[in-house]
Amino acid sequence: MLSLSLLLAVSASNGSFAEAGLVLFVHAVALALAAPIGGRLADRYGPRRTLHVFIGFHALSYAAIVSALVLALPLSHLIVAAAFLGCTTPPSTAVVRSTWPLLVPGKYLSSAYALDTVINSTTFILGPMVVGGLLFFLSANTVVGACAIAKITGDLLIATGASGLKGAERSRRKALALAENAPLMLLLAVIAADTFTIGALQVGAAAGATATAASLLFSAFAGGEVVGGLLSGVRSRDANVKRDMIGFHLATACLFVLMSSVLGSWGLLVLYVGVGLLSGARDALGQFAVGISARPEDRTEAFGWLSGFMWGGYGLGTLLSGYLDEEWGRRSIYLVAAAASAMSAIVLLWLKLGGAAGVIEDRT
């Protein structure tokens, strides 16, 4: 909900979609940079304490950005507020994903991560619909405020109501030591490339299409992700994580190549659904791979890095795809996305030599 409502609110306030895009980009970068730190703090000081501190500062940052919108303050104020909003985002996603191994028996863990992916994908379908409905009755600024209420409420529920939320053993390693784990960093880079392609898909849907057609295409992708995640959860106990991730990336690359030559609306719709199916299964396996590759005391930090890499990849994908569309047209967006997926498959092949990938093979 936040991305769409903030985009509309800033553009309405400043009269520029370019400036609104800059505000969203700053928010995404700030979130990407801060996410690993939030995960590390949750591992060091405990999830509940960390979440409560972040929630307090995040509520203040929402108040700041809503005030800047209502008062029509200059762009520089909005950028600062967006950066504050991003860097104070509570590490709720990392905490939830790191808690699955404490709540779910090992043989069902991959299905739990698949369910996590399904829920996440569903929000990308429902969020814009909720924003559209609220805009019939409320201003865009007020909808941003509604996002604040939803976000803070959800984070408080996670911080206070999860019976399985237990602080991991406090580590005395130096801060952000996971950055020295090269195999895990490469695995996260693969996942960043995956979200890069999602950003490309979003821009590709909007390029040369009406708003309605673009919305339909990306909704088709999100719907495919939901189904793909569900199917992954059903069969994941018998899955070979590495082999399947490589296969999904190669198949996705092939569909992107087809997109570059099939630009008709109905053909693209079918291909967007296909990429969504593959992406849902791929993303579920990626989360599972990160979860079993990190030590229990480092798991929240690992998922913090995951959130950072995902937001960074998505932001870069939208930024670069907009440039590609202006310079070389819509086809180039899909070809670059295909190259990213193919490179990911190559990296995954290399990871079988050891490190995080070796853990994946041993556990499956």
- Closest by alpha carbon to 53, among 42, 64, 44? 42
Give tens-digit pLDDT for 15-42: 666 788 788 889 988 998 898 899 889 8
What mean pLDDT do residues 59-76 have? 94
**Is the per-residue pLDDT at 303 higher than 70?**
yes
**pLDDT cut 90: percent of the chain above it:** 35
pLDDT value for 171: 46
pLDDT value for 195: 92
pLDDT value for 114: 85
pLDDT value for 238: 53
Distance CA 256, CA 121 (A): 20
pLDDT band at 97 (very low <50, low <70, confident <90, very high): confident
Q: Evaluate whether 172 touches 344 at the Cβ level (below 8 Å).
A: no
Mean confidence (pLDDT) of the chain: 84
**Is the per-residue pLDDT at 169 higher than 50?**
no
What mean pLDDT do residues 303-311 have? 86
**Is the per-residue pLDDT at 174 higher than 70?**
no
Give tens-digit pLDDT for 253-286: 999 999 999 867 889 999 999 999 999 999 988 8
Higher pLDDT pick, 15 / 113: 113
Higher pLDDT pick, 140 / 364: 140
**Is the per-residue pLDDT at 361 higher than 50?**
no
* HEC secondary structure over the chain: CHHHHHHHHHHHHHCCHHHHHHHHHHHHHHHHHHHHHHHHHHHHHCHHHHHHHHHHHHHHHHHHHHHHHHCCCCHHHHHHHHHHHHHCCCCHHHHHHHHHHHHCCHHHHHHHHHHHHHHHHHHHHHHHHHHHHHCCCCCHHHHHHHHHHHHHHHHHHHHHHCCCCCCCCCCCCCCCHHHHCHHHHHHHHHHHHHHHHHHHHHHHHHCCCCHHHHHHHHHHHHHHHHHHHHHHHHHHHHCCHHHHHHHHHHHHHHHHHHHHHCCCHHHHHHHHHHHHHHHHHHHHHHHHHHHHHCCHHHHHHHHHHHHHHHHHHHHHHHHHHHHHHHHHCHHHHHHHHHHHHHHHHHHHHHHHHCCHHHHHHHHC
pLDDT band at 52 (very low <50, low <70, confident <90, very high): very high
Most confident listed range (168-182, 243-257, 290-304): 243-257
Give tens-digit pLDDT for 316-339: 887 788 788 888 988 999 999 999
**Is the per-residue pLDDT at 163 higher than 70?**
no
Distance CA 39, CA 47 (A): 9
pLDDT band at 180 (very low <50, low <70, confident <90, very high): low
**Is the per-residue pLDDT at 58 higher than 80?**
yes
**Is the per-residue pLDDT at 356 higher than 50?**
no
Distance CA 331, CA 128 (A): 26
pLDDT band at 207 (very low <50, low <70, confident <90, very high): confident
pLDDT value for 17: 66
Predicted structure pTM score: 0.75
